[in-house]
Copies of this chain bind each other. A is one copy, B any other.
Amino acid sequence: MSAKQPTIKEIAKRLNISISTVSRALHDHSSIGLRTKTRVKELAKELKYEPNQAAIFFQQRKTFTIGVILPFLSELFFSSAISGIEDVAVKSQYTVLLGQSRDDANREKHIIETMKKHRVDGIIISISKHTTNYEHFNRLRQSGIPVVFFDCIPNMTDIHYVACNMVSGTVQATSFLLKNGHRVIGLINGPEKLYASKQRQEGYQIAMSKHRLKYDPSLIVNSDLTKEGSRKAVKELLEHKRKVTAIVTFNDYVALDAMQYADAQQVAINKDVCFVSYSNLPMVEYLKYSPMASVEQNPYLQGQKATEMLLELLQKKEEDQTDNSSYKIIIDSHLVEYKQ
């Protein structure tokens, strides 16, 4: 069955011309006689010739492949992001090599090794929540593989990244609640170490001080982002000595668990306690309870931007422009209010 693929060598032999002539004819090189060109192209079609990219990649030291490493594909944020990545990549003839870290630092490291072996041209990554050692990223830099971080970004200097400014979104979210008369507002944040958590806290504090309210640290609790963690967190807020009337949650998934728990405690969702969240999940319209508003993080756009940035870096690299500046794109998050 699988007859082995024809090569330009084969074509050359059959046509009694040299290999390079065939190569040039196939590439519409200017200095090739029309006659030979047509003959070559016809035979190529007849033989169903297809250039062996593996050989070309090898020869050109370029694979037209970009590695994409994400924690979980099952989260809509990431599947949207990868759509954006893929769209831009495909348009530029690149392909996407995929890896799921599952928020496991070792797995992440292993994936990076594999991608390095596969000689991907560049990498786009949202790092795992448990990655604390950044050595493998440094090694990537040493091997000259450009990396664009997005979403979850390591605390390193001189890196390229696309991020979403969660501060502005959080200010909007908190202000939204303040404008609606709430004064005691809880924040269910993610793990403390996360930059994303710090940003949310910062936004929260900014909004508070803008409204000349003093910041009460006990109103900020952390969830480990598991169902149980979120339930514990909301419990703490509901039992807070001050009467919490509104809660900002780290993301929609946390919000769902928190609201579910609150509901079970006979708390009237968005009446006794109002919820505002992040992610803007499309499932909202079908949900039993949805937050009153959610901060859109534009994952698709982030994916696009990250890819564009990476492609630009690759371009620069090819042109050998030693450019040591680090690229940053900050996308603004914004609040989306839902109709009740």
Contacts and interface: CB of A to CB of B under 8 A. Distances in A.
Contact of A97 (B65, B100, B119, B144): B65
Interface residues of A, number: 59
A50 B144 CA distance: 13
Contact of A100 (B83, B289, B324): B83
Interface stretch (A15-23, A74-82, A229-237): A74-82
Interface in A3-33: 3-5
A119 B83 contact: no
Given A53-B117, A73-B83, A143-B5, A98 B100 contact: no
Nearest to A289: B286
Of the listed residues A95, A285, A288, the one surrounded by the most CB atoms of chain B closer than 10 A to its CB is A95
Contacts of A288: 286-288
A55 B52 contact: no
B82 A73 contact: yes
Interface of A: 1-5, 48, 50-55, 57-58, 61, 63-65, 68, 73-74, 76, 79-80, 82-83, 86, 90, 93, 95-100, 110-111, 114-119, 139, 141-144, 256, 260, 283, 285-289, 317, 322, 324
